[in-house]
Amino acid sequence: MTRAFRRRLEETAYILLQTDRLTMARMAVAAARALETGSVPPERHPLIRLFIAAGLARLVSGESVGTRRASEVLLEMIEHATENQSQVGPVETRPSGLILPR
């Protein structure tokens, strides 16, 4: 799974670079590198979490919880869980300004 995400991020970075969006290309490369080195476990990688949340929201888009859409409830639960997690360990700041957990 992480290999496929890493490859997609690298391809996206190339496209962003070719279309003069250097900052966004650097962010895509940084995300891919974090997957490659294993410095961030896949379950804590923000981009993978976003992909999973979006996929789950799409899967339950036709369902409801009471009077609310199930996708809204799901995303709210994910946001709540993310807010409650504290960052563990020191962080490393790259010259690009990207902050990575060590």
Of 10, 53, 47, 43, nearest to 29 by C-alpha is: 10
Total of domains in the chain: 1
pLDDT at position 44: 75
Weakest mean pLDDT among 6-10, 56-60, 76-80, 83-87: 83-87
> What percent of the chain shows pLDDT beyond 70?
77
CB 30 within 8 A of CB 98: yes
pTM value surpassing 0.85: no
